[in-house]
Amino acid sequence: MSETISYRLFQEQDLPSMLRLWKEAGWGALTEEQWRSWFIDTPQGPCLIVVAVNSAGEVVAQEVFTPSRICIGDRVVRALRFSAPILRKELRGESLRRGDHPVIELYKAAAKAAARLGFTIVYSLPEHGWLGVFRMSQRFGFPRFAEATYSCAKLRLDVTSQSPTNGATVARPVIEFSSEYDQLWASALKSFPISCGVVRDSAWLAFRNGGRIALEVRDARDGSLVGYTATNKQTGLLADVLARRPEDLTGVVAASHRWLAGNREHGAHGLTHLKVMKTAALEPTLAKLGFADEDFKFAFTCNTFDPSLGIEDIAPERWYLMPGD
């Protein structure tokens, strides 16, 4: 590259330049307040943010890694979710097969910092086309990434759910992710069981699902919390769902589908379908409710910064995974 670029962790003085980069890259205008709420004030502390800086001190690329907690069996470890990199237009034409590409250099800087700061896992749900880049990780000196591809299914909101649980569960908007959701997570952790997965405590749910259609699903007889869903307002994608037991998932999804179908002019904002990433945990539910295949693929990758942890310990098939993780 003709321009000298250095790579390092974000510093406070970078913020004005980063906000300009966000807008110039086509992601829209972002206020300082929004930026801090998304990337600084998370339940697990500030995101790990790496930047590429040119000789004039301007941020020309960035990668954000959002901290979370992951359960691995009986352990809970610190993890990072890798989000899509943002680059200035003039940097996007370089070949990603080159080890000095900004995306690769940014990740190198992030990996060093993550290991030093005690993070154990990095994971991502990138666009499916990015899997080819992750498959080249060993060429650039990184350990091999585990990966998985998931298909998509959808159910129209103008059809009646065929679930045998109709009427047994009732959905309504979440008012607060209270301690009741901590108890729900504890129940799910034991009953599924969840070998790997993001810790879905109340603080995490409030942080991740504030901008989504978040619905709590309760037993129609005793009012107990059976589960919840969080749906993307723009796409109708089920970003997150959890139930206290695997057998409750069908009732949770069915009740949420009924609520969305009845509120398309209000909370559901004109959505036409409920869409779902087809994981092993959800496949029985999707079959019972009559979901049809959609021509779309989801991708998942993960790796570890801890040499004592094998890639088989965090293999995708061990995860309870949703797109909003």
What's the token pair of residue 161? 């759910």
- Asked if residues 15 and 56 have their Cβ atoms less than 8 Å apart, the reply is no
Average confidence score pLDDT of the chain: 91
What's the token pair of residue 206? 């409030």
C-alpha R_g of the chain:
21
Query: C-alpha dihedral over 217, 191, 45, 230, to 10 degrees?
Result: -30
Compute the distance between CA of residue 216 and CA of residue 195 in angstroms, rounded to an integer: 24
Beta partners for residue 5, in sequence order: 54
Grade residue 266 by pLDDT with cuts at 50, 70 and 90.
low
Question: 85-132 pLDDT, tens per residue?
Answer: 888 877 766 666 666 778 888 999 999 999 999 999 999 999 998 888
User: Phi and psi of 190, rounded to 5°?
Assistant: -85, -40
Compute the distance between CA of residue 263 and CA of residue 270 in angstroms, rounded to an integer: 8
Amino acid identity for residue 243 in this structure: A
Residue 2: predicted pLDDT: 55
Residue 102: predicted pLDDT: 86
Grade residue 277 by pLDDT with cuts at 50, 70 and 90.
very high
Question: 160-200 pLDDT, tens per residue?
Answer: 655 666 678 999 999 999 999 999 999 999 999 899 999 99
- Asked if residues 195 and 312 have their Cβ atoms less than 8 Å apart, the reply is no
Compute the distance between CA of residue 61 and CA of residue 38 in angstroms, rounded to an integer: 18
Q: What is the mean pLDDT of residues 123-142?
A: 88
Amino acid identity for residue 26 in this structure: G
Structural domains of the chain, ranges and CATH numbers in brackets:
5-146+301-320 (3.40.630.30), 153-297 (3.40.630.30)
Amino acid identity for residue 236 in this structure: G
Q: Is the pLDDT of residue 273 over 90?
A: yes
Q: Is the pLDDT of residue 53 over 50?
A: yes
- Asked if residues 238 and 229 have their Cβ atoms less than 8 Å apart, the reply is yes
Compute the distance between CA of residue 177 and CA of residue 171 in angstroms, rounded to an integer: 15
Give every strand in the sheet of 225-231, ordered side by side.
169-173, 213-219, 225-231, 238-243
DSSP code for 14:
G
304: left (phi over 0), alpha (psi -120 to 50) or beta: beta
Q: Is the pLDDT of residue 1 over 50?
A: no
Compute the distance between CA of residue 107 and CA of residue 141 in angstroms, rounded to an integer: 11
